[in-house]
Amino acid sequence: MPQQNFVDYVRICGRSGAGGSGSAHFFRDKTTALGGPDGGDGGRGGHIILKGNKQLWTLLHLKYRKHVIAGAGGIGTGNNKKGAQGEDIILEVPLGTVAKDAETQEVMWEITEDGEERILVPGGLGGYGNTYFKSPTNRAPRYAQPGEPGKEEWKILELKLLADVGLVGFPNAGKSTLLSVVSAAKPKIANYSFTTLVPNLGIVSYREGRSFVMADIPGIIEGAHAGKGLGIRFLRHIERNALLLFMVAADADDISQEYRILLSELEKYNPELIDKPRILAISKADMLDEEMKALLDDELQLDLPHLYISSIVQQGITELKDAIWAKINEDF
């Protein structure tokens, strides 16, 4: 997906519909001059609703739709006829879309299933007609209830990508190059920091026609959990990955330290992330001979399996796929 077409954050103003007023009507016909109250209730105002759509991968279609306005409810009428319900506005969103209050930043809920509907901004209730207020002591109420006003609220929609494997690493760790080699994805690749500005998804073919989805997440730097660099703007995408593939370049000053910094950033952002299965891939391994790999094996004191890979010369790629497949399927 082209970078300019991927949108994972939108801020919209939702205005729900006002409820219709109830009717203060009394029954009349050619044989009844003074009938009892028969005013109907007003109709509910329109909701603004989010609906999950598994065919969508971006919030691009909502990027320029800043104001969303639902319809007002109809007024009640005589003969106890209820007013028409206001038109609901349904916004289809990708699975993994999180709705937040723009003012408080409070998370409301997350859309996770195809066809799932959640009310983003509720419409106002319709008012009761005078029939509702009839009682033995008040047989002819001449009043009805006005409808509730609609609400105007700013909301934030954030998307968390769903993938089997999420690539985690500093800029220039070789994540985009790996994705371009193992899948048909064509992420932007260059030798400078933050080449990847949006997440990229690729379907990785495996043995016997099987496959899994890999996501290239923009590079993390120390302090990302606090918003430094690209910060938490993209850390949320890691939350929906089944397996985290950490990538550290073979020419790093201290591979173990870089891995610990990455893990620390994830833990500070969301402690639950460290419970996810993970693998370490030491990239650019074509620079290492067997003796250097043996020395590194002795130096690395880590709590996860590691492999040496080189996307450029296709070194260790098959072994990496095997390790990933085993990890994401080990509970089945």
Strands (E), 136-210: 152-159, 163-169, 200-205
- The predicted pLDDT at position 330 comes to 76
Q: What is the largest CA-CA distance in the chain?
A: 107
State the number of CA atoms in the 13 A half-sphere of 80 facing the CB.
8
**pTM of the complete model:** 0.72
> What is the CATH number that goes with domain 163-328?
3.40.50.300
Q: Where are the domains of the chain?
A: 1-159, 163-328
DSSP calls for 77-114 = BTTTBPPPPPPPEEEEE-TTEEEEETTT--EEEEE-ST
Res 5: pLDDT: 63
Distances from the Cα of 151 to the Cαs of 11, 82, 104, 119, 123, in angstroms?
16, 22, 16, 12, 7
Task: Name the superfamily (CATH) of residues 1-159.
Answer: GTP1/OBG domain (2.70.210.12)
pLDDT along the chain (332 residues), means of 10: 67 96 91 87 97 90 93 96 97 93 93 95 97 93 96 93 84 84 64 54 86 80 48 68 90 90 86 89 91 88 87 91 90 46
Q: Which of 181, 201, 178, 170 is nearest to 3 (CA)?
A: 201
CA distance 265 to 229: 12
Tell me how far apart the alpha carbons of residues 66 and 8 are, in angstroms, rounded to a whole number. 15
- The reported pLDDT for the residue numbered 2 is 46
Q: In this predicted structure, what is the pLDDT of residue 121? A: 97
